[in-house]
Amino acid sequence: MSKGSFTGPLEQVDSCCWRIPKSYRQGMRVDGLIFANDKLMKQLVRDQAPEQVANVAFLPGIQTASMAMPDIHWGYGFCIGGVAATDPAEGGVISPGGIGYDINCGVRLVRSDLTYRDVKRHMRELIDALFNTVPTGVGKTGKYKFDQKELRQLMGEGIPYLKGRGLAFNSDIAHTEAEGVLDGADPSLVSDQALARGGNQCGTLGSGNHFMEVQVVDHVFDEDAARVMGLEKDMVCVMIHSGSRGLGYQVCDDGLHAMRKVPEKYGIDLPDRQLACAPADSPEGRHYIGAMRAAANYAWCNRQLLMMQAREVFAKVFGRTWQDMKMNLVYDVCHNIAKLEEHTVDGKKKKVWVHRKGATRAFPAGHPEVPSIYQGIGQPVIIPGDMGRASWVLVGQPGSMERTFGTTCHGAGRLMSRTEAVRSAGNRRIDKEMEANGIIARAQSRKGLAEEQSSAYKNVDDVVDVVDTAGLSKKVARMRPLGVIKG
Cite the active site residues. Answer: 410
The whole-angstrom separation of Cα 31 and Cα 21 is 5
Q: Give the three-class secondary structure for 160.
A: helix
Q: Please report, in angstroms and rounded to a whole number, the separation of the first and last CA atoms in the chain.
A: 21
Q: Give the containing element (helix H, strand E) for 474.
A: strand 473-486
> Alpha helix locations (H) across 147-205?
148-157, 159-163, 170-174, 192-198
- CA distances to 75, 165, 209, 359, 420 from 417, in Å: 11, 41, 12, 19, 5
202 within 8 A of 142, measured Cβ to Cβ: yes
Residues 6 or more apart from 28 whose CB is under 8 A from it?
22, 54, 57, 58
The whole-angstrom separation of Cα 409 and Cα 170 is 28
129 closest CA partner among 309, 328, 320: 309
The whole-angstrom separation of Cα 395 and Cα 397 is 6
DSSP letter at 79? P
The whole-angstrom separation of Cα 156 and Cα 141 is 22
Give the dihedral sign, CA 338/412/479/449: positive
- Per DSSP, which regions of 362-466 are E strands? 380-383, 391-396, 407-408, 440-442
Q: Is 432 exposed, middle or buried (0-12, 13-18, 19+ CB in 10 A)?
A: exposed
- CA distances to 52, 193, 200 from 140, in Å: 33, 17, 9
Q: Phi, psi (5° rounding) for residue 416? A: -120, 150
